[in-house]
Amino acid sequence: MSDSKSQGGDQWGSRIGVILAVAGSAVGLGNFLRFPGQAAQNGGGAFMLPYFVSLLILGIPLCWAEWTMGRYGGTKGFNSAPGIFQTLWKNPLAKYLGSIALLIPLVIYMYYVVIEAWCLGYAFNYLTGDLMLGENSKEYSNFFDKFVGASADGALFSEGGSNLLVFLIFTFVFNFILIYRGISKGIESFCKIAMPIMVICALCVLARVLTLGSEKVSAGLGAMWNPNTDYLMQPKTWLAASGQIFFSLSVGFGVIINYASYLKKDDDIALSGLSASSMNEFFEVCLGGLITLPAAFIFLGAAATEQGTFGLGFNALPNVFAVMPGGQFFGFLWFFMLFIAAITSSLSMLQPVIAFFEEGLGLKRHASAALLGLVSAMGSGFVVYFSKGMVALDTFDFWVGTMFIFILAMCQAVIYGWIFGIDRGHEELHRGANIRVPWFVQLMLKYVTPGFLFAIFIGICITQGP
């Protein structure tokens, strides 16, 4: 890391630390549950074409734009998006647009943390053996319904569901301790331990799945990866692919802007941004893409592809662990890994808001943390109470995880490409950089990225609602 300290306040301690923290934000439930679900429902291998196009046109360029804008805003003394947008665009509207970048992560946190608690609960129930329920798949859906409080009678926290409250509280408190400890002592130190643990756990589960017998494995991989090209003509597929790129890379949410604002003026961002994104793609395509759906397919056949995102993770996979050798151990490893992956992501959803409370409301860290705790706990309570299963989660996922992201991403592309300017952007991106980013990336950010976003947005409006 460079020595030139240009702003006060909290900062990252090391270069690898910031890369792992951003990668930690990116790698999460999106990689292991959302990606396989989206791919299976949108043409399997054919989904990868819009997926990679979106990665190249939207994901990587916008990721660089966010790193650039974030570090620039940080050197001017701002860590929250409203302040950062204002330094880039001297217009009163800027801070209101910036506030979308607080709202989106906060709202996503409110439901994301609930699923995080499910993962912890499932890991715990594997440890105790309570999730080894035999081969009747009904048992697993009953367990799930009870656990998440979606039993047929609609009772919240009924029977097994009451345990959820314990896991939710633990998850909440754990997030807050880390956030409270701050950027380098909390988020960075945790991500430095969590990321290697995740890789090891995921590789163990992958090794188990890939050694279940070559015929079974190739059928499972085929279910995930065989291309159905009919899907390529549907706008829905393109929307799903670009939405997945945003969600997975944590781009378009305002979290990278916030994380990058804790860098020093001459710290590299070009290579760091690329490294964090590449790490995310490794987790998504090589681990998420080879474990979740292939494993479910091996044991459940075509029914596996019909499960939604959450069904795949919490209903289908427990069936798989029930019959695979060493299932209890691998079940624990899998859900524990999901829990860790989710925590490193949820931390990044809270940090922008806490930065805003400190900066915009002038609160001290403990007051900000308390306020944030209150707001997010109320929000999550609301989600748990009203979701009664997964319907509300899917709706949230559509509106906040897809629609709003397009709007914020568009604002970012326009502010960066047209207001801040690509010449300044290019220069800023290369200060302290360890690689050179070709100039056409800037041209892409100015013209192609907003054009592509606009086309997809029109596609959404014409073809579908939630």
User: What are 27's two structure tokens?
Assistant: 């790698």
Binding segment for ligand PHE among 9-17, 24-32, 192-200, 226-234 (CB under 6 A)?
Answer: 24-32
Binding segment for ligand PHE among 80-88, 247-255, 259-267, 313-321 (CB under 6 A)?
Answer: 247-255
Strand partners, 44: 227
8-state DSSP, 227: B
Secondary structure class of 7 (helix, strand, coil): coil
Between 46 and 349, CB nearer to ligand PHE: 349
Binding segment for ligand PHE among 29-37, 92-100, 159-167, 332-340 (CB under 6 A)?
Answer: 29-37
Q: Are 47 and 228 within 8 A, CB to CB?
A: no
Torsion of CA 376, 163, 167, 292, to 10 degrees: -110
Instruction: Candidates 11, 75, 151, 248: give the one binding ligand PHE (CB under 6 A).
Output: 248
Instruction: Candidates 26, 221, 240, 444: give the one binding ligand PHE (CB under 6 A).
Output: 26
Query: Residues binding ligand PHE: what is the number (CB under 6 A)?
Result: 16
Binding segment for ligand PHE among 44-52, 219-227, 246-254, 307-315 (CB under 6 A)?
Answer: 246-254
Binding flag, residue 380, ligand PHE (CB under 6 A): no
Provide the minimum distance between the beta carbon of 218 and ligand PHE in the complex, in angstroms, as a whole number: 27
Secondary structure string (H, E, C) spanning 74-92: HHCCCCCHHHHHHHHCCCH
Between 195 and 448, CB nearer to ligand PHE: 195
DSSP 315-376: IIHHHHHHHSTTHHHHHHHHHHHHHHHHHHHHHHHHHHHHHHHHHHS---HHHHHHHHHHHH
Q: Per-residue x/- marks for ligand PHE, 158-197, CB under 6 A?
A: ----------------------------------------
User: What are 366's two structure tokens?
Assistant: 């403990």
User: What are 81's two structure tokens?
Assistant: 């998006």
What CA–CA distances, in Å, run from 261 to 36, 81, 87? Answer: 32, 9, 12
Interface with ligand PHE in residues 328-357 (CB under 6 A): 345, 348-349
Task: Pick the closest to residue 419 from 71, 99, 65, 77 (CA basis).
Answer: 65
Binding flag, residue 111, ligand PHE (CB under 6 A): no
Binding flag, residue 253, ligand PHE (CB under 6 A): yes
Q: Are 171 and 120 within 8 A, CB to CB?
A: yes
Task: Pick the closest to residue 247 from 355, 380, 342 (CA basis).
Answer: 342
Binding flag, residue 62, ligand PHE (CB under 6 A): no
Between 145 and 281, CB nearer to ligand PHE: 281
Between 319 and 344, CB nearer to ligand PHE: 344
Between 121 and 254, CB nearer to ligand PHE: 254
- Rounded CA separation 51/94 (Å): 30
Binding flag, residue 70, ligand PHE (CB under 6 A): no
Looking at 161-234, list the stretches that DSSP marks H as alpha helix, in order from N- to C-terminal side.
161-181, 189-210, 214-225
Strand partners, 227: 44
Provide the minimum distance between the beta carbon of 341 and ligand PHE in the complex, in angstroms, as a whole number: 7
Binding segment for ligand PHE among 85-93, 191-199, 243-251, 450-458 (CB under 6 A)?
Answer: 243-251
Between 300 and 349, CB nearer to ligand PHE: 349
Taking each helix axis from N to C end, the angle separating 15-26 and 270-281, rounded to the nearest 10 degrees, works out to: 40
Task: Pick the closest to residue 447 from 429, 422, 428, 465 (CA basis).
Answer: 422
Between 353 and 422, CB nearer to ligand PHE: 353
Binding flag, residue 240, ligand PHE (CB under 6 A): no
Binding flag, residue 120, ligand PHE (CB under 6 A): no
Instruction: Candidates 11, 25, 38, 272: give the one binding ligand PHE (CB under 6 A).
Output: 25
> Can you tell me which residue has the tokens 């964090």?
276
User: What are 69's two structure tokens?
Assistant: 């804008």
Q: Are 281 and 273 within 8 A, CB to CB?
A: no
Provide the minimum distance between the beta carbon of 110 and ligand PHE in the complex, in angstroms, as a whole number: 12
- Rounded CA separation 117/410 (Å): 32
Provide the minimum distance between the beta carbon of 186 and ligand PHE in the complex, in angstroms, as a whole number: 16
Between 37 and 160, CB nearer to ligand PHE: 37
Instruction: Candidates 30, 70, 318, 432: give the one binding ligand PHE (CB under 6 A).
Output: 30
DSSP 33-90: IIHHHHHHHTTBGGGHHHHHHHIIIIIHHHHHHHHHHHHHHHHTT--SHHHHHHHHS-
Provide the minimum distance between the beta carbon of 152 and ligand PHE in the complex, in angstroms, as a whole number: 30
Instruction: Candidates 24, 28, 160, 425: give the one binding ligand PHE (CB under 6 A).
Output: 28
Instruction: Candidates 245, 255, 316, 422: give the one binding ligand PHE (CB under 6 A).
Output: 255
- Geometric angle at alpha carbon 293, from 131 and 157, rounded to 5°: 35
Instruction: Candidates 250, 272, 307, 368: give the one binding ligand PHE (CB under 6 A).
Output: 250
Instruction: Candidates 105, 160, 373, 432: give the one binding ligand PHE (CB under 6 A).
Output: 105
Amino acid at 126: Y
Chain residues binding ligand PHE by CB under 6 A are 25-26, 28-31, 105, 108, 247-248, 250, 253, 255, 345, 348-349
